[in-house]
Amino acid sequence: MRQTDGTRILVAQGGGPTAVINQSLVGVVLEARRHEGIARVYGARHGVRGIVNEDFVDLTQETSHNLELVAGTPASALGSTRDKPDLAYCQEIFKVLRAHGIGHFFYIGGNDSSDTVRIVADEARKAGYPLRSIHIPKTIDNDLVANDHTPGFPSAARFVAQAFAGANLDNAALPGVYVAVVMGRHAGFLTAASALGKKFPDDGPHLIYLPERVFEIERFLADVKAMHQRHGRCVIAVSEGIHDAAGKPIAAQLARDLETDAHGNVQLSGSGALADLLCEEIKAKLGIKRVRGDTFGYVQRSFVGCVSDVDQREAREVGEKAVQYAMWGERDGSVAIKRTGFYSVDYELVPLEDVAGKTRVMDDAFIADNGTDVTDAFRLYLRPLLGSGMPDAYRLRPAPVPKVLRA
CATH number at residue 332: 3.40.50.450
pLDDT of residue 263: 43
What's the burial of 405, exposed, middle or buried (CB within 10 Å: 0-12/13-18/19+)? exposed
For residues 124 and 32, membership in a common domain is answered with yes
Q: Which residue positions in the chain have pLDDT lower than 70?
A: 1-3, 255-272
For residues 203 and 161, membership in a common domain is answered with yes
pLDDT of residue 239: 97
Does 81 map to a domain? yes
For residues 237 and 280, membership in a common domain is answered with yes
pLDDT in tens, 113-125: 999 999 999 999 9
pTM of the predicted protein model? 0.94
SS3 content of the chain, % helix, strand, coil (to 5): 40, 15, 40
pLDDT of residue 6: 77
Selection from 367, 309, 363 nearest residue 158 by Cα: 309
pLDDT of residue 43: 98
Catalytic residue among 55, 86, 122, 141: 141
For residues 43 and 186, membership in a common domain is answered with no
Q: How far apart are the first and last CA of the chain?
A: 92
For residues 263 and 351, membership in a common domain is answered with no
Q: Per the structure, how many domains does the chain have?
A: 2
For residues 160 and 93, membership in a common domain is answered with no
Does 392 map to a domain? no
Selection from 24, 54, 28, 55 nearest residue 41 by Cα: 28
Q: For residue 106, what are the domain limits?
A: 8-139+307-355
pLDDT of residue 254: 77
Distance in angstroms (rounded) separating the CA atoms of residues 215 and 208: 11
* β-strands 291-295, 177-182 pairing: parallel
Confirm whether 294 is a catalytic residue. Answer: no
Contact of 309 with 387, CB cutoff 8 Å: yes
